[in-house]
Each structure stands twice: as C-alpha cells, then as structure tokens.
Amino acid sequence: MAYKLLIFNCYGGCATGVAASKACIRLWEENVGDVKIGCLPAVPVPSKLKEIMQSEKRILIDACGVKCGENIIEKEGMPVDKYLELTSHLHLKKEKELPSEELEEQVYNVLKKEVDSLLGKS
C-alpha cells in the first residue's frame, strides 16, 4: 500500500529524539491511512527501499546534529521532501534525558505543521 506520507525519524536517545518519536506516533494516529512511520534501518534493504519509494512523499527527522538519518538516506540515495534536524531548528542543545512535556508539545507542533503542509492541509 502506498501512503501519502512516510515519516522517518532517528528515534535518538536524547530529549528531542524521544519527543520526536512520540510526536510521530501521535501524527500517525491522527492521520491513519495517509501517514505511516517508515523504518529507517530498512532503507538499505533493496526490497524495502522499492516499497518506500512508492509513497507519495517522505519526511526525515533527525533529533540532533549527528544526523544519523541523513547519513543513511544519502548513502542509499533516497530522496525526501522535507528534512528537519531538531536541535538546530529549535536552537536547543542535545540533552541525554527524557523530554519535558513542554518540549514534547513544541516538537509535536513543529512536526504537525510540516506534516500538514506535506499533506496539503491548511
């Protein structure tokens, strides 16, 4: 099944990574049928990349400046329609801890705006 939007997230072990993970799940729940979370480690698997490329659009979220996700997709040549690196985008320092509720909501709002834009919602 091709989706309108696949969301790829690094699921990093830092506050922004955990907040992004929660936001991605919430956005999938809010957009069932249009949005799905893609498996970033599956990108190098040829049969999975073929399936991934059938989605209409793709967004990649990296939690921090290490840009693990970006390195994977560049190596495999997978195009994305939107890329966000959260610590730079939000002007935050990488924190190796669980996120506050405020950070979770801030990350959700940023990602929701991008998802809505990619889905053509106002």
**pLDDT digits 0-9 by tens, 37-87:** 999 999 999 888 888 888 999 999 999 999 999 999 999 999 999 999 999
- Mean predicted lDDT score pLDDT of the chain: 94
The arrangement of strands across the sheet holding 82-85 comes to 35-37, 5-9, 57-62, 82-85
Q: How many CA atoms lie within 13 A of 118 on its CB side?
A: 25
| The total number of structural domains that make up the chain | 1
Residue type, 61: I
Confidence of residue 92 (pLDDT cuts 50, 70, 90): very high
Tell whether the torsion through CA atoms of 108, 112, 115 and 118 is positive or negative: negative
- Name the residue range of residue 66's domain: 5-119
pTM of the model: 0.92
**E strand map for 2-94:** 5-9, 35-37, 57-62, 82-85
